Amino acid sequence: MTRLPLAAPIHPIRMLDANATETGGDAAPFGNLPEWDLSDLYTSADAPELKRDLDWLETACRSFAEDFEGKLGTLDAPAFLDCVKRNERISAVAGRIMSFAGLRYYQLSTEGERVKFLSDMQDRITTFTTPLVFFTLEINRLPEDYLDKLFSQDAELARYKPVFDRIRAMKDYQLSDELEKFLHDLGVVGDAWEKLFDETIAGLSFTVMGEELNIEGTLTLLTDHERPKREAAARELARVLAANLRTFARVHNTTAKEKEVIDRWRGMPTAQTARHLSNHVEPEVVEALRNAVVAAYPRLSHRYYELKRKWLGLDKMQVWDRNAPLPTEAPKTVGWDEAKETVLTAYAGFSPRMAEIAQPFFDKGWIDAGVKPGKAPGAFAHPTVTDVHPYVMLNYLGKPRDVMTLAHELGHGVHQVLAAGQGEMLASTPLTLAETASVFGEMLTFRAMLSKAETKEQKKTLLAGKVEDMINTVVRQIAFYDFECKLHEARRGGELTPDDINAIWMSVQGESLGPAFEFMEGYETYWAYIPHFVHSPFYVYAYAFGDGLVNALYAVYEDQPEGFQDKYFEMLKAGGSKHHKALLEPFGLDASDPAFWDKGLSMIEGFIDELEAMED
């Protein structure tokens, strides 16, 4: 039951369309980009407070096992509450240590000392917490009526019932105590494959038109105004990925096989089951989402990209045209201060409280924004622990889409701040709801920018950009989900060659992107750089879930604005303490209704309708 944040953020790295040259914290022309101040966790890797917490953690885990192992079924309500609170305190201290180690690592993932420090902390905390494995196993052996009786006797203890419900959802898939301890200890080996992936990605070098770039710089060129530059970046990305494809294939083969072995021993019916359980979402809800999106491909991505093909004056679009600017869109660099003002103003337009919660991220060193050699690519928000605060990582390079990424990650941050009051065990939100505040933050920022558009072309540019972002969030992520489903199923039949994985990747691309595209040789390798497939298998459907949910929420906000803000903040404050049905009920929404997803998708269709109308 102990929640141990790993090196990977709770919300895995979100790959950006980022750009240009590598910069430090003082990055002209973007302004003075902020860097993390991690001293709210620990002042340094050799801080005496860190040693103190490690010593405390070792003792606390040992004494917890001595006091409670084999005795959970004999405790009265006050003693059981004491047990829960002690476990929660262990989670908080372990989470603080791992957050510090992980955030330092992601700042500079190629530096040997930081890599070693992270590995050492993972090893020590895994060893310390091995005696705690009994806790969830023993909980699942307790009679249901025994737990219900304890909850009925103590209101404070009853608050933790959702945690126990999630634990007991794993009851049918639990192994013996010895095997569970073995898998706990073996976890650091699986983490090593994730680190190999991260370090390989961070160490890649690309040369585009004579300029040496990291992966962020190369990906951002796919959004450049100059088509030859986009093509050169796309082909260089394919060349470098192909040169490293055996490594990426080995990582995927190993992590997928490890998952298959564990799932088989646990009796999981599908490779996706564990994700659905951890998300506290029914498989049929995810299947309804997936089917609704796939059925909508022709109405969404196919229709939009056909429009864009005409705008670009092309017979066929190539992969380097997918996120290209419109011909009428003027090149624009957005400075950091302008990005900050844009997002905070949009947040304040929804509620001053939302902007107030976001402001300290800028003022107190809670954001690391610059692109630097060795820094992990992408963006994330990491909640650390509930008695500190979240941290946001960006790779900011002044693109308009970087502003939306800032809005997205700050949405996570606001959510994490509000949920912190639930405590360590209840603050963490299931992934299906974790993307709600982030996507809502993007929607608020987009709507604020759209309201200021002065010309038809400005409105068209903003609408097209939003549609592309929504397609990337919904269509692309469901295509990614299908890729993972096929990958894990195929791996059950044996080792996959790089060509096998390439073929699986291409099997979902044409279907999702549509007939406007043809695919260059080399595009089949692009699966290799997506971190979610390695760090958090099947995470990606959470993005589509969040977008559909937010579209439905925003429709309620537009129809019934009175009192919406209060209900919205209450939903975020709930963290992981409520099921999605209970959270959405005040808004009159139900994600288990298949028609729910069509409501969300209809907003994207509406934007495309507007764009088509502009052609008349």
- Predicted local confidence at residue 491, as pLDDT: 97
Tens of pLDDT, residues 366-408: 999 998 888 888 899 999 999 999 999 999 989 888 999 999 9
For 195-209, what is the mean pLDDT? 93
> The whole model's pTM is what?
0.84
Tokens 């109405």, located at residue: 299
Using the predicted structure, report yes or no on whether residue 27 has a pLDDT greater than 80.
no
CB-neighbour burial class of residue 347 (10 A; exposed 0-12, middle 13-18, buried 19+): buried
Q: How far apart are CA 526 and CA 241, in angstroms?
A: 7
> Running DSSP on this structure, what letter comes out for residue 382?
E
Band (41; pLDDT cuts 50, 70, 90):
very high
What domains sit in the chain, N to C, each tagged with a CATH number? Answer: 39-174 (1.20.140.70), 286-613 (1.10.1370.30)
Please report how many Cα atoms fall inside a 13 Å half-sphere around the Cα of residue 20, on the Cβ side.
Answer: 16
Q: Provide the pLDDT for residue 28.
A: 55
pLDDT band with cut points at 50, 70 and 90 for residue 5? very low
CA–CA gap between residue 391 and residue 388 (Å, rounded): 10
Of 22-31, 39-48, 73-82, 237-246, the range with the lowest mean pLDDT is: 22-31
Average the pLDDT over 593-604 and give the result: 88
Give Cα separations from 501 to 195, 253, 277, 468 (angstroms): 21, 9, 27, 26
d(CA 490, CA 498): 13
The order of strands in the sheet holding 380-382 is 367-368, 391-393, 380-382
Say how far apart CA 56 and CA 65 lie, in whole Å: 14
pLDDT tens sequence across 418-438: 999 999 999 988 877 888 999
Cβ 184 vs Cβ 133: under 8 Å:
yes
Beta bridge partners of 211: 208
Confidence band, pLDDT 50/70/90 cuts, at residue 616:
low
The per-residue pLDDT for 8 is: 32
Query: CA 18, CA 398: separation in Å to the nearest integer?
Result: 9
CA distance 406 to 410: 6
| CA 476/CA 471 separation, integer angstroms | 6
* pLDDT tens string 55-102: 999 999 999 999 999 999 999 999 999 999 999 999 999 999 999 999
Half-sphere exposure of 3 (CA within 13 A, CB side): 26
- Reported as type and span, the H/E element at residue 552 is helix 541-559
pLDDT mean over 31-56: 96
314 or 220: which carries more pLDDT confidence?
A: 314
**Of 15-24, 238-247, 444-453, 552-561, which has the strongest mean pLDDT?**
238-247
DSSP 3-state assignment of 47?
coil
- Determine the Cα–Cα distance for residues 508 and 287; give it in Å rounded to an integer: 17
Asked if residue 24 has pLDDT above 60, the reply is no
Q: Assess whether pLDDT exceeds 90 at residue 189.
A: no
Averaged pLDDT for residues 112-123: 94
Is the previous residue joined to 29 through a cis bond, with omega within 30 degrees of 0?
Answer: yes
CA distance linking residue 555 with residue 14, whole number of Å: 26
Give the closest residue to 350 by CA, choosing from 451, 448, 436, 459. 448
Distance CA 534, CA 245 (A): 14
